[in-house]
Structure formats: C-alpha cells, structure tokens
Amino acid sequence: MLAESNIPFVRNGGLHTLPGLISLSFPGADGEAILHRLDLLGICISTGSACNSQNTEISHVLKAIDLGDEYAKGTIRISLGKYNTMEDVEKIVSGLKKILAE
C-alpha cells in the first residue's frame, strides 16, 4: 500500500523483526511532526527506536544500522496488536500518504 504511493521510505530491521512492529524512515521528513500529525488523525505511533523512546536525538540503534541522518530524523515506529484490523492499517497508510505528500 505505502510502497505503491511513490513516497520514498525504507523499512528498518530487515526480514527478522518482531511481529506487529515496523520501523519506517522517510528521508527529509521529521518523525516528531509525523507523530503529531497522525495523532490529530487519531493514530498513535512512536518515533525513533524502541531502545531510545525518551530521547529526541537520533538513537544509537539507528546509527548502528548505518541509517543516514536524512532518514533517521524521519523515523517512526508502528506497533500493531491482535485487536488491530486491516482498516487500522489502511488508516495509518492513508494518514502517512496525506502527511508526506504535502
């Protein structure tokens, strides 16, 4: 869904990630701004890496995976649980498309 939008991003962590967790980085974007704009749409996400959720600086985890500053600053983390639906995922993607296309 998001990959078909022509919005540049990378998915962090490769193929071996925990179920329900996804880390996405958008070059030139501000992860905190994305967080606040999604919050206004009723969508809760996090920024940075889970190991560094209290700090607004680029996390050591993102630096360790050699993610450049241009991408690292635009990193968000989405957590889904067993009660989330496909409609929830579609709402997140729709919100990201709206925010990042501006």
User: What residue ranges of the chain have pLDDT lower than 70?
Assistant: 48-57, 63
The answer to whether residues 74 and 29 touch, using CB atoms and an 8 Å cutoff, is: yes
Written as six digits, the tokens of 43 are 């969508």
44: annotated active-site residue: no
Catalytic residue among 1, 50, 51, 64: 51
The Cβ of residue 34 has, within 10 Å, a number of other Cβ atoms equal to 22
Say what the pLDDT of residue 57 is: 67
Say what the pLDDT of residue 26 is: 96
Which pLDDT tens digit goes with each residue over 20-46?
A: 999 999 999 999 999 999 999 999 999
47 contacts: CB under 8 Å, gap ≥ 6: 31, 32, 34, 35, 53, 56, 75, 76, 77
Written as six digits, the tokens of 80 are 């889904």
